[in-house]
Amino acid sequence: MSLDNDYLKVLENESIRYISQEDVKWGSWSIVRATIALMNLALNDKDNQYFHLISGQDWPIINSREIYDFFEGKSNIYMERYLADGIRKSHEEIINWQKYYYYYDVINRRKLYGKIFHRLTMKLQSLLKINKFKKLKIDLDIYAGSQWGSLPRDAVEFVLDYLDSHENVYKMFETGFCSDEFWLPTILMNSSKFKDRYENYNYHFIKWTKQHESYPAILDENNFIELRQSNAFFARKFDADISRKLIEKLESE
């Protein structure tokens, strides 16, 4: 995807640096491709010891110095994770999101035709007894979890090296659905070096209700006390207009 000149001027005026023009689509591998590009860039700075995966609608809800001090000297992975087998979401067994083939870099999953295609594809692959795990010789416990979290430098280096050296695993994730929620916990929890350093919490506040026509909720000033009573470092979703007063309250402290 190419950015038009008007958009590039906005980025330049706001002193925003972009490193690629990845056309990120919901549920597709493009999300992870963009994440990998950012990880590789951040690894270039040897002083970076912790890497925080946050969304474009996140906001830090405590002082940056407090965040820095918490992670100083630590080596744990702070991300939610659980075994995918037996878990259902949206009336689907999520293990099938990796067991079957999907191509949402091309097809927009969020459009009506994308939703119909998704259901038909799953049904057809089930009838045909498609098993990508067997085809690709995947011998891993499949984990899922939140794509948001904090990882130490050696964990980031490990997952990138692992993908480079395991073409079959890369292919599994690349042709999966919502692989951004699978790749990190699966790789790290199958590693004897990292699984014992995996904390099942990401210090991230998300309100899983509908608010301001958004699910999860777009936060506003009425959520201030909830944020303060949480032990989170980051929260989402923030909106420049709806969350303005909340941001002002957070920044005034």
Contact yes or no for 102/177 (Cβ under 8 A): yes
Instruction: Quote the percentage of the chain above a pLDDT of 90.
Output: 87
Residue 45 scores a pLDDT above 70:
yes
DSSP codes of every residue in the chain: -PPPHHHHHHHHHTT----------TTSTHHHHHHHHHHHHHHTSTT--EEEE--TT-EE-S-HHHHHHHHTT---EEE--EE-TT-EETTEETTHHHHS---TTTS-TTSHHHHHHHHHHHHHHHHTT--HHHHTT--S--EE--S-EEEEHHHHHHHHHHHHH-HHHHHHHHTSSSGGGTHHHHHHHT-TTTGGGEES---EEE--S-BTTBSSPPP-GGGHHHHHHS--SEEE---TTTTHHHHHHHHH-
Query: What was the pLDDT predicted at 18?
Result: 78
Q: Indicate the pLDDT class of residue 2, thresholds 50, 70 and 90.
A: low
The model's pTM is 0.92
Query: What was the pLDDT predicted at 16?
Result: 80
Q: What's the first-to-final CA gap in the chain, in angstroms?
A: 40
CA-to-CA dists, residue 125 to 30, 114, 117, angstroms: 23, 16, 12
Please work out, in degrees rounded to the nearest 5, the angle formed at the alpha carbon of residue 144 by the alpha carbons of 177 and 188: 115
Residue 20 scores a pLDDT above 80:
no
- Distance, in Å, from the CA atom of 217 to the CA atom of 238, rounded to the nearest integer, reads 9
- Distance, in Å, from the CA atom of 148 to the CA atom of 194, rounded to the nearest integer, reads 17
Convert the pLDDT of each residue in 93-147 to its tens digit.
999 999 999 989 988 888 999 999 999 999 999 999 999 999 999 999 999 999 9
Convert the pLDDT of each residue in 193-238 to its tens digit.
999 999 999 999 999 999 999 999 999 999 999 999 999 999 999 9
Q: Indicate the pLDDT class of residue 1, thresholds 50, 70 and 90.
A: low
Higher pLDDT residue, 9 or 102? 102
